[in-house]
């Protein structure tokens, strides 16, 4: 029996991971804040795929809640074979804002929780000699769009460091770096979808399928779609002044 945990598993990329993993026969542990939506999602997955689905209602900005989720990852009586560290949200707040609460919450959910859950999963999987950890970063982590870029840059760097520490242990670590993906994420982040060229959008189920294929190949970094692989090449080789200019142009697509 194979079991996967997905944080933020009731919407967007997380929900697509849940569907893809369920479709291949994995049982699931889904983590999200909204207990009602968790229950609805779990029941839908059980009916459609005939798998077991466990739910954990947790706010990953709350350290005690993160510890509860970490304890589930460390439970050797019901092992988790795959962790998808996906929970997150866009940050629209200026770095100059007097109220830094949105940035602090982003660090709690997308840095501290990723670190704590990755550590719990990594330790437990290493002791067992097998496992997979997928940490969702972003192409935005390689440009300079406020604290969201900074957070996702940390995730990408952390994941590679975790892969180094777990090398040879039987535990695979992959960083997923999506670009613009068709989910509700961008509207929640205050980004006008119409301002982004249509050819740049990636289907969420195709994104997840490509990521899981990269995991199977043992890749440490997954950048689905040729267009975003090309974009990453440009970002890595362009002058940083050009990246800052482009980041400013992209940021202007956000709603005021």
- Which of 155-164, 187-196, 197-206, 228-237 is the least confident region? 187-196
Strands across the sheet containing 131-136: 53-57, 27-32, 3-7, 82-85, 131-136, 171-176, 221-222
Per-residue pLDDT reduced to its tens digit, 184-211: 544 554 555 544 545 455 789 999 999 9
State the burial class of residue 112 (Cβ atoms within 10 Å of its Cβ: 0-12, 13-18, 19+).
middle
Q: Where residue 142 falls among pLDDT bands split at 50, 70, 90?
A: confident
CATH 3.50.50.60 at 3-251, yes or no = no
Does 148 qualify as catalytic in the annotation?
yes
- Main-chain dihedrals φ then ψ at residue 238, nearest 5 degrees: -80, 155
One DSSP character per residue, 86-128 reads -------S-TT-S--HHHHHHHIIIIIHHHHHHHHHHHHHHHH
**Domain range annotation of the chain:** 3-251
pTM: 0.85
Average pLDDT over residues 131-155: 87
Average pLDDT over residues 6-16: 95
Does residue 166 carry a pLDDT above 60?
Answer: yes
Which is catalytic among the residues 17, 49, 142, 148? Answer: 148
pLDDT score, position 233: 62
Per-residue pLDDT reduced to its tens digit, 83-102: 999 999 988 888 899 999 99
């Amino acid at each position: 029996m194979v079991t996967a945990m997905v944080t933020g598993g009731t919407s967007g990329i997380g929900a697509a991971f849940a569907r893809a993993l369920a479709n291949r026969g994995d049982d699931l542990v889904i983590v999200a804040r909204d207990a009602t939506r968790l229950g609805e999602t779990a029941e839908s997955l059980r009916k459609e795929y005939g798998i077991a689905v466990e739910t954990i209602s947790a706010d990953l900005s709350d350290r005690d809640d993160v510890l509860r989720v970490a304890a589930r990852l460390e439970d050797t009586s019901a092992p988790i074979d795959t962790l998808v560290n996906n929970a997150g949200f866009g940050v629209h707040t200026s770095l100059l804002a007097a109220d830094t609460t949105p940035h602090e919450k982003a660090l709690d959910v997308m840095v501290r929780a990723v670190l704590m859950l990755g550590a719990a999963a990594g330790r437990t999987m290493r002791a067992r000699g097998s496992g997979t950890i997928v940490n969702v970063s972003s192409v935005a982590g390689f440009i300079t769009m406020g604290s969201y870029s900074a957070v996702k840059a940390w995730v990408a760097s952390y994941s590679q460091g975790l892969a180094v520490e777990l090398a040879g242990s039987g535990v695979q670590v992959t960083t997923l770096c999506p670009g613009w993906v068709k989910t509700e994420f961008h509207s929640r982040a205050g980004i006008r979808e119409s301002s982004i060229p249509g050819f740049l959008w990636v289907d969420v189920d195709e994104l997840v399928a490509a990521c899981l294929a990269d995991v199977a190949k043992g890749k440490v970094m997954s950048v689905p779609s040729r267009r975003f692989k090309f974009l990453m090449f440009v970002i890595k080789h362009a002058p940083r002044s050009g990246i800052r200019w482009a980041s400013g142009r992209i940021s202007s697509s956000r709603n005021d």
